[in-house]
Structure 1
């Protein structure tokens, strides 16, 4: 329930659904002229309306805030499976993390697995993955210990000098002077397809940005849509990635928005930070 919801279906505060204006007699419709009549009754009615609005707001805020403490607000269905509204917020408080670090410390349940998968998708799609030292640090944080070395080896073979050059970077993964490299992943929603006490398979539907913002860039920033599937396991008191794969879509029909200039895109990337995702 949001603050704008009307639980009685009245269409307005006070339960009437209507607003009536009474003009003073003998004014010819001039709301500013003539003597006021029934002032005491009007004042009482206004006071009741104001009090009613305040009560509704307090009730709505209390209802919204109680989700974090009420086990019945969980998004899980039977056998740990999500309800039909798989991307609806659960009310569970988001994981705590320090600025600039990948969020860790998720709940040992289906909601925690989905939160972990969403945040790990962001990390795996970030510009840090093009830097060897930062990539290794990311993998150490999110990959299950038994698979970390394998992931590092596989990605070292993928992020080659030729690949870096293909996306507009220097061969060592650094950004050419005068340009802004953009690589961002934004989860749209998550769902669990399999789950048990210590294992979960989570699909994360994402939108991504990739390219080089700059006046003479031959690799402009483009948008893509894809779904990441992660198999997670509970290890070291947290959810960790065991395997990860990616498929295209679902992709919406492109809109009629005009593409921004390279300067506007670079400015947006510098000024707008990312989010911590939680179910």
Structure 2
């Protein structure tokens, strides 16, 4: 409230340039006393100005809040070009989370044996194929001759698979299987469970040129024997598998691959579970179809 609002004291018509000018031309100087003091006719109690001001302020705040809520709700059904899921806002305000977010490409429904198939002929499809190939190549089925051949034939091109079968059969020798606690056929002892799993953590597209792609898969793995007589307990590993892919009439197929250790994080402080808990978890928890 300005001074002129109260009995024309301030810049109203009764005021002149004279510092001692009277109110309304009466030529009588007005003296202001504290409220309740003074008994002459020129000293009236001062009106509390804050009541009307507080009321105006409260009403103004309420109006602003209602307007803000109404404005925010208008974005819900506007259907602008940047609306992604019913919310308002522009694309410039959204974080760039392409490295971890789902791509929206529909998941595959086909399978080539036990391996998902039908991945898209694009960068996303190449990364999805590489992830699922890594899972299959790290499975317990690789330790049995028949299933290993099926996996290799489903993942690699015909030429690459033909070159790999002999060296792989030699690598999965009886001596190698025996060190893992398996018999020559890749079977675990009665009462024990052999565990071998690959869990992709992320993929990196190294190169892509239409019908060829190079993809790296960073993964953690589980391998070992779970059982009362086991001398090779289940442990974890961290590796990066890089595969060269080619688009064929059967979809993406691996042409060649390499592997290296890491990157490996600092081990956590979770206590190791018993062999019974590990065996039960492997039986109860199935794997995933990985898609980029």
**TM-score (ref. length: structure 2):** 0.67
Matches within 5 A, 1:224-243: 224-243=237-256
The superposition leaves residues 205-251 of structure 1 with CA deviations (integer Å, 9 ceiling, x where unpaired) of 00000000012210000001000000000112400000111101110
Secondary structure in 1 aligned to 2:117?
coil
The answer to whether the 8 A contact 1:190-1:205 is kept is yes
Tell me if the contact between 1:204 and 1:227 (Cα under 8 Å) persists in the aligned partners: yes
SS class of match (2:99): coil
Following TM superposition, the consecutive aligned residue runs of length 4 or more in structure 1 with deviations greater than 6 angstroms are none
Match of 2:157 among 127, 132, 144: 144
Q: Specify the SS of the correspondent of 1:190.
A: strand
* Structure 1 residues without counterparts, runs of 5 or longer: 1-44, 57-61, 66-71, 73-82
1:118 alignment counterpart: 131
Once the two structures are superposed, residues 102-155 of structure 1 have per-residue CA deviations (whole angstroms, 9 ceiling, x without a partner) of 001111111100000000000000000001000111111111112111111121
- C-alpha deviation, 1:87, in angstroms: 3.8
**Structure 2: how far apart are the matches of 1:262 and 1:178?**
11
> What is the match of residue 212 of structure 1?
225
Q: Measure, in 2, the Cα distance between the counterparts of 1:64 and 1:110.
A: 25
Label 1:214 to 1:100 Cα distance change in 2 as closer, same or farther (>3 A): farther
Q: What residue is the counterpart of 1:198 in the other structure?
A: 211
Contact 1:194 1:201 in 2 (8 A): yes
1:234-269 Cα deviation digits (max 9, x unpaired): 112400000111101110111100100000000000
* 1:264 matches 2:253: no
Cα distance in structure 2, aligned partners of 1:257 and 1:156 = 37
The match for 2:115 is 102
Which of 225, 229, 250 is the aligned partner of 2:263? 250
SS at match of 2:161: helix
Structure index of larger Rg: 2
Query: Aligned-pair distance for 1:156?
Result: 0.7
Matched, 1:133 2:153: no
Residues in 1 aligned to 2:110 and 2:165: alpha-carbon distance in whole angstroms: 24
Which has the bigger relative contact order, CA under 8 A and spacing at least 6?
A: 1
Aligned residues: 209
Using a 3 Å threshold, how does the CA distance of structure 1 residues 271 and 100 change in structure 2: closer, same or farther? farther
Structure 2 alignment gaps of length 5 or more: 1-65, 78-82
Q: Compared with structure 1, are the counterparts of its residues 64 and 153 closer, same or farther at alpha carbon in structure 2 (3 Å cutoff)?
A: farther
Question: Partners of 1:157 and 1:63 in 2: how far apart?
Answer: 54
Give the distance between the partners of 1:64 and 1:212, measured in 2 at CA: 47
Range with greater deviation from structure 2 (85-94 or 107-116): 85-94
The residue aligned with 2:6 is none
Equivalent position of 2:193 in the other structure = 180
